[in-house]
Amino acid sequence: MQTGVLLNVLTCFLITIAALTNAVRVYRQCKGSLSDMAFAGFWFLTAFTWLFVGLSMIVAKYGQLSLGVAIDQYFTQTTVFIQIAVGSYYAAYRVFKNHKLSTIIFLIFLAIAIVSLFFVYQHDGVIVTKNSYFTIEYGTEQMPWIIFQVLFGILMLAVAFDIFRNLYFWFKKSVFYEPRYLLTGLSICAYGAIGYFEEQGYAGASDSVYVWTRLALRMMLILCAQIAYLAYSKKEV
């Protein structure tokens, strides 16, 4: 396998390990909390998203391009959209502190995600957009991409609201300040922002600069998982 793609794949697998480690830690510590379980689920799906990204590149570079497209179409895209739906429960509960309302919002997000996946699963719903020494990249049709951006934007705004509210309580030295959820919110927002810019790439750059920029951003995603891991440390933050 080409060295450039191998480095890219290894980075994806490192993200998988970091995200999965975090998900398992949260699950073991907070089995009784639905919002914490949703947070664990978010990182669990993150882990499998990057596992499938890495696998799709491996098989494509070994000459099975159609299989690489299938992995991205039916596995990567599925975990991405379900990840947003699961994250919506966490975000809704952090904003409203109401499990019933959070469940309703989750079901709405899930229904929209399923509709989006209907378009993704169509013939040519996912195509190869870049095939080089360094990487294999895929893209979806415009409709699911637009829906994803809307769901993603709502999720990020809700989490950002919780972050700023927590910061306000911190500055006021309020008893409502929750250091754990300040860190969990930061981990999701940072992951979302970095992931979004990583997906957009660096327009106008040479292939090597383009790929090294994306690799650097992907390495930063590992740090996001570590922030989430720190949130559930037994030490006070």
How does residue 41 score in pLDDT terms, banded at 50, 70 and 90? Answer: very high
Percentage of the chain exceeding pLDDT 70: 93
- Quick: pLDDT tens for 79-132: 999 999 999 999 999 999 999 999 999 999 999 999 999 999 999 899 998 887
Q: Is residue 221 part of a domain?
A: yes
d(CA 171, CA 173): 5
d(CA 65, CA 26): 36
How does residue 31 score in pLDDT terms, banded at 50, 70 and 90? Answer: confident
Q: Is residue 37 part of a domain?
A: yes
CA distances from 93 to 15, 25, 38, 156, 174 (A): 26, 20, 10, 14, 20
Q: Which residues contact 15 (CB under 8 A, 6 or more apart)?
A: 46, 47, 50, 218, 221, 222, 225
- For the segment 169-185, the average pLDDT, to the nearest whole number, is 93
- If one compares 10 and 3, the residue with the highest pLDDT of the two is 10
- Cα four-point dihedral sign 27, 228, 105, 108: negative
- For the segment 52-70, the average pLDDT, to the nearest whole number, is 93
Query: Could you tell me if 133 and 5 are in contact, meaning their C-beta atoms sit under 8 angstroms apart?
Result: yes
Q: Is residue 61 part of a domain?
A: yes
**Tell me, what CATH number does 91's domain have?**
1.20.1070.10
pLDDT at 234 over 90: no
Domain count, the chain: 1
Q: Is residue 236 part of a domain?
A: no
d(CA 98, CA 176): 16
- Quick: pLDDT tens for 119-150: 999 998 999 988 877 788 899 999 999 999 99
Q: Is residue 116 part of a domain?
A: yes
* Nearest CA-CA partner of 222 in 29, 12, 25, 28: 12
How many other CB atoms are there within 10 angstroms of residue 91's CB atom?
30
- Mean pLDDT is lowest, of 90-99, 128-137, 162-171, 207-216, for 207-216
CA distances from 10 to 3, 137, 196, 216 (A): 10, 15, 20, 13
How does residue 236 score in pLDDT terms, banded at 50, 70 and 90? Answer: very low
Chain-wide mean pLDDT for the chain?
Answer: 90
- Mean pLDDT is lowest, of 47-61, 67-81, 82-96, 221-235, for 221-235
How many other CB atoms are there within 10 angstroms of residue 118's CB atom?
12
**Which structural domain range is residue 52 located in?**
3-230
Q: Is residue 92 part of a domain?
A: yes
- For the segment 180-190, the average pLDDT, to the nearest whole number, is 95
Q: Is residue 44 part of a domain?
A: yes
